[in-house]
Chain A
Amino acid sequence: MASTIHDKGAGRPVGLRLLDLLEAARELLWPARMAPLTPWLFLLPAVLLTGLLAAGLIPLLDASLRPLDRATFRLAEDYALGNYATLATRPVYGVIALRTLMAGLIVTAATLALAFPYAWMMVRTQHAWLRKLLLVSLFLPFFIGQVVRAYGWLIILGKQGLLNALLDGLGLPPSSLAFTYTAVLIGLVQYMLPFAVLMLAPALTAVPVEVELASASLGARPFATFRHILLPMARPGIVAAGIVVFTLTLTDFAMPEIMGGGGNDFIASAVYDAFFQLGDAGLGAALGIGLTLVGSAVVGVILAFFGLGTLGYVEGREERS
C-alpha cells in the first residue's frame, strides 16, 4: 500500500496526483524556506483592507486642505488650513462633536447594561424555548433596516403615537419624546443591542458555569459573583462590544437624522451637509478626517487603558508560554 502512495507513476489515484501537483505549485509559489513568514501571509487580506482604507484617507486629507473657490465652485489649487480653521472657529462644530461623543458614551453604557443580562440569560438558560425566543428576538431586528426601525420609533413616540395613547389611557399628561436627543439615544440603543449581545455571548460562554457555581457555593451573593467573577472574566467581550457600539454610534447618520427632528445632528450629519448641502467637499473632508481622528483616538485610549490583552489574545498566549 505504502509503495502505491509514494509511487509517482501513472498507476497512482487521480486525487493523489492532483495533490502532488498542488504541492509542487505551493513549493514554487511559497518555498519551504518562506515557512516562518506563513503567519504573515494570513494577515495579508487584513493588511490589504486596512491599507485600502488608509489610502482612501490620502485624497480625503488632500481635499481637506483645499478651501472652496466660490467663483468656480472648485477646490483651490493651493493648500491652506481654511477648512480646519472653520472647524475650530465655528462653535457649532464643537457642539455637534460634543453631542456625538456624549451619545457614544451614553449609548455604549446603556447598551452594555442591557446586553449583558440578555447575553447571560441566553447562554445560561436551561430552557431551549427561552434560548430560541431570545435568539429570535435578537435576530429579528437584523431583518429590519435602521431607517424602518427609526420610523417605527416615531410611530411609538410621536405626538399621536402609541406611547401617548397609553399615557392618555392612564390619565397621564402626554410626552414629547419624538424628535429629541433622548429619542435619538433610545433608537440607537435599540439598534446597537444585537451587536453587543452577539459580542458578549461568546465571552460569557467561555466562562465555565462551574466557576459561578463554585463562587456561589463559597457563599458569594449573585452580585458578588457578577462583580468578582463574571465581569472580569467576560472583560474581552465587554471591551470589544463597547468599542463596536461606541464607534458605530460615533459615525451614525440615520438615527439622528430621522429621530432628531433636525436639531440634534451628529458629526456624520455635518459631514453630509458639508458635502451635499454646502457643496464644499473640502470642509466635508476636514470633518471626515476629524471624525476618523476622534474615533481612532478614543479606541486607542480604551485599548491603552485596558491593554490589548483585554481582547483575549496576547495575554492568553503569554500565559501559556
Chain B
Amino acid sequence: MSEKTFSVSRRRLLTATAAGGAMLAAPWAWRRAAAQEKPRELIVRAWGGVWVDSLNEGVSKPFTEMTGIAVRHDLTEDNEIRPKIWAAVDQGRVPPIHVNWDTSTNATKSALRGVTEDLAGLPNLKEMLPAATPEGFDGVPLVNMYSYVYVLAYREAAFPDGPPESWDVLLDPRFKGRIALYDDGIGFHPVAQIAGGGTMAGVPGDMQPAWDFIRKVKEQQPLLGEDPDFTTWFQNGEIDVACTILSNARAARQNGIDVAWTVPKEGCKVDTDGMWIPKGLPGNELHWAKEYVNFAMSQQAQQKWTSGLGLPGLRPGLTPPEDLEGDPAFPTSPEDFERLLSVPTRVLVEHESDWFQKFNEIMQG
C-alpha cells in the first residue's frame, strides 16, 4: 500500500516537473509533448495461457499503473499476425498492434523485410546481456528478452523408475500413440539430429540423421499440436511424453497435472523470444510502444515476467524462481548453456521453413 502511495506521489511529481519544464522550454518542448500524447491503449500481441498471464503481471499491469495507458493483449498466433502486419506496413496503413511479442526467428524475418522500428535508443537496452541485441543489422530492429528450453516433458506415473535419460524414449513401443511434438517440429530438429547420431556441426548442411530419427518417431504415431494442446493431452491422459517449452510443462504441473520435465543426455534446444514494434504507428503511439518495450527490459519487469514464465531473462542479476534453481532446463551460466543445443538465428531464419516442410512431409506421409 505504501509502495503504491509512493508510486503515485512520484508520478505526480514527475508529471509536475515535466509540465513545468515543458512550459519553460516552449515551443520545441510543446511540440514534443504533443507528439507523446498518451494513447488510450496499447495493443500487445501475446501467446495465451501462462504466457499472457505472466506478461500481464510482470509488464502490462505495472506499465498501466505507471502510465495510465491500458494494455490490451491480442492473442492472435504469432504466425497469423505476421502477414497482417506486413500487409499493413506495405499498404501504408496503421498496423493492428503496437508491440509484437514474437519468436526471435520470426522477428528477424520481419526485420529483414524492413517492417520493424529501430529500438536502439531505449535506455534499458544497455543493461541487457549482449544476446538481447541481434547481430548483423543497422540499429536494433528487435530486442531478445529471455531464452527458453524445449524440454522432454513426461507423465511421472508413466516413469516409476525415474525420468527418461534419452530422447530415445520417444521410440519406446510402450509409448506408441502416446507422444507429442509441435506440429511443425519446432524445438525438435536439433534434438533429432543428435539423437539420430549426428552432430550440431551438421546443422544445416547434413541433417539426414535428424530426418532418419524423425521417421522413426513417426512410426510411433505422435500427436502434433500447439502449446495449449500439450496441457490438454497430458490432462486427459492422451500422452505420456512430449517435447514442449518448459513454461508449458511447469504451468501444467502448477495446475496439478502429473507432468515433470528433464534435459536428456543429448541436450535440449534453447532459443530466444523478443519484442519488436511495427512501422507505421502514429508518433505518439510509437513513443509509448517504445516505452513499453523499454519497461519490459527493466529489472522489475524482467524479474516478475520471466519468473512467471519460468525462463531466464536476458538481464543480469535476476533471481531464478525457487522451483527452478539449479534446474538444467533453466540455464543461467555458460556451463548450463553448453549442455543445450543452440542454432544461430541466421541459420534458423534461412532454413527453418525447409525444416518445417521436411518435418511435415514425414509426418503426413
- Asked whether B238 lies within 8 Å of A96 as measured between CB atoms, the reply is no
Known: A92-B364, A263-B364, A279-B83. 13 other contacts (CB 8 A): A70-B353, A72-B113, A73-B109, A73-B110, A73-B112, A90-B361, A92-B365, A96-B364, A176-B177, A179-B238, A262-B225, A275-B83, A277-B184
User: Any chain B CB within 8 A of the CB of A131?
Assistant: no
**Could you show 27 A-B contacts with beta carbons less than 8 Å apart?**
A70-B349, A70-B353, A71-B112, A72-B112, A90-B357, A91-B361, A92-B357, A96-B364, A158-B238, A159-B237, A160-B236, A160-B237, A261-B225, A262-B183, A262-B363, A263-B224, A263-B363, A265-B360, A273-B360, A276-B79, A276-B80, A276-B82, A277-B79, A277-B356, A279-B109, A279-B353, A280-B353
> 10 closest A-B pairs (Cβ-Cβ)?
A262-B224, A92-B361, A276-B79, A73-B113, A262-B183, A261-B223, A278-B353, A73-B109, A160-B237, A92-B364
- Asked whether B114 lies within 8 Å of A72 as measured between CB atoms, the reply is yes
Known contacts A72-B113, A158-B236; A92 and B360 CB within 8 A of each other: yes
Known contacts A273-B360, A277-B79, A281-B83; A262 and B365 CB within 8 A of each other: no
Residues of chain B having any CB pair with chain A under 8 Å: 77, 79-80, 82-83, 86, 106, 109-110, 112-114, 177, 183-184, 221-225, 236-238, 349-350, 353, 356-357, 360-361, 363-365
Residues of chain A having any CB pair with chain B under 8 Å: 70-74, 90-92, 95-96, 158-160, 176, 178-179, 261-263, 265, 273, 275-281
- Asked whether B83 lies within 8 Å of A276 as measured between CB atoms, the reply is yes
Residue of A nearest to B90 (CB): A74
Residue of A nearest to B183 (CB): A262
The interface residues of chain A, by DSSP majority, are classed as: loop
Q: Which residues of A contact B363 (CB under 8 A)?
A: 262-263
Q: How many Å lie between the Cα of A90 and that of B86 in the bound state?
A: 28
- For residue A124, give the distance in angstroms from its CB to the closest CB of chain B: 43
- Asked whether A263 lies within 8 Å of B221 as measured between CB atoms, the reply is yes
Q: How many Å lie between the Cα of A262 and that of B109 in the bound state?
A: 25
Point out the residue from A179, A275, A277, A278 that lies within 8 Å of B223, measured CB to CB.
Answer: A179
Residue of B nearest to A96 (CB): B364
- For residue A182, give the distance in angstroms from its CB to the closest CB of chain B: 13
- Asked whether B177 lies within 8 Å of A91 as measured between CB atoms, the reply is no
Residue of A nearest to B182 (CB): A262
Q: Which residues of A contact B184 (CB under 8 A)?
A: 273, 277
Q: How many Å lie between the Cα of A49 and that of B324 in the bound state?
A: 59
Point out the residue from A179, A265, A278 that lies within 8 Å of B356, measured CB to CB.
Answer: A278
Q: Which residues of A contact B360 (CB under 8 A)?
A: 92, 265, 273
- For residue B122, give the distance in angstroms from its CB to the closest CB of chain A: 25
- For residue A72, give the distance in angstroms from its CB to the closest CB of chain B: 6
- For residue B116, give the distance in angstroms from its CB to the closest CB of chain A: 12
Q: How many Å lie between the Cα of A22 and that of B282 in the bound state?
A: 50
Residue of A nearest to B238 (CB): A159
Interface centre among B349, B353, B356 (most CB of A within 10 A): B353
Residue of A nearest to B110 (CB): A73
Q: How many Å lie between the Cα of A158 and that of B360 in the bound state?
A: 24
- For residue A280, give the distance in angstroms from its CB to the closest CB of chain B: 7
- For residue B135, give the distance in angstroms from its CB to the closest CB of chain A: 16
- Asked whether A70 lies within 8 Å of B350 as measured between CB atoms, the reply is yes
Q: How many Å lie between the Cα of A25 and that of B207 in the bound state?
A: 74
Known contacts A72-B114, A276-B82; A95 and B238 CB within 8 A of each other: no
- For residue B109, give the distance in angstroms from its CB to the closest CB of chain A: 5
Q: How many Å lie between the Cα of A273 and that of B80 in the bound state?
A: 10
Q: Which residues of B contact A279 (CB under 8 A)?
A: 79, 82-83, 106, 109, 353
Q: How many Å lie between the Cα of A278 and that of B237 in the bound state?
A: 31
- For residue A32, give the distance in angstroms from its CB to the closest CB of chain B: 47
Q: Which residues of B contact A70 (CB under 8 A)?
A: 349-350, 353
- Asked whether B365 lies within 8 Å of A91 as measured between CB atoms, the reply is yes
Q: How many Å lie between the Cα of A262 and that of B226 in the bound state?
A: 10
